[in-house]
Amino acid sequence: MEEASLAYGVYDDLDQMKHTLSLIKAVQIKHVLNDAENIVADFECEALRVVNTYGGFSRKVRHFFSTSNPLVYHLRMAHQLKDLIKKLDKVTSDRQKFGLQINDVDTRVVHRRELTDSHVTDSEVIGRDYDKQKILKLLLKDESLSIVPIVGIGGLGKTTLAKLIFNDESKIWVCVSEDFELRNLLVKILSSALNSTQEMYKNLEMQQLKNHLRDTLAGQKFLLVLDDV
């Protein structure tokens, strides 16, 4: 009887172990996806830097992929991509080894994120002065339009850093919700820029909103923060 109970308990232990392994693999996959997103963001930032620095579009593209572009950056990206491919191969191999299943996820389900605002307290910020000043220096250069993406895994402090910069000078803060709609975004930008209520613009057509926004911001230097994009 004792041996039978022990044998039966093995199945429970196996189920528990499979469940634990599934959770571990889910975390590993999330980390790999975060790495992939960071590599893509890095590449896009470098491409944007080149586009803002050099001439016509065809010339920009030729320069970006030419040998005159810094070799160090190319090598670094190549190594990062190679490491990422190894991680993906390991995740796939482990899934097959342990018989873990990939469950279909209904992409129509929207997981709501908490909307953010521009308020920040001193207790939320530790050792961000250098990063803040570095980004402000980039934004205040007398050059063309500056776009500075702040990327990283969740909980790293990206929004807090953006708040510090936002609260330093003239600015517009907009939290982009998951159910993105361009008209609502324009209304939020206008109400933030003019310190007014969104109700003032609810009856305006799309073209009217665009014209109003263009007239409001024309000739001015400002910082626009689009959080949670």
The residue to which tokens 């980039």 are assigned: 138
Give the model's pLDDT for residue 107.
Answer: 44
Q: Is the pLDDT of residue 56 over 50?
A: no
Which residues pair with residue 223 across a beta bridge?
A: 171
Confidence at residue 68, expressed as pLDDT on a 0 to 100 scale:
47
> Quick one: average pLDDT of 206-211?
88
Q: What is the DSSP letter of 95?
A: H
Task: Say if residue 16's pLDDT is above 50.
Answer: yes
What's the mean per-residue pLDDT of the chain? 66
Neighbours of 59 (CB within 10 A): 10
Six token digits for residue 202: 């609810």
Looking at the chain, the whole-number percentage of residues with pLDDT higher than 90 is 0
Give 162-182 pLDDT, tens digit per residue. Answer: 777 666 555 677 777 666 678
pLDDT in tens, 83-114: 877 877 777 776 666 554 544 444 444 444 55
Which residue blocks in 54-151 are alpha helix, DSSP H? Answer: 57-64, 71-98, 129-139
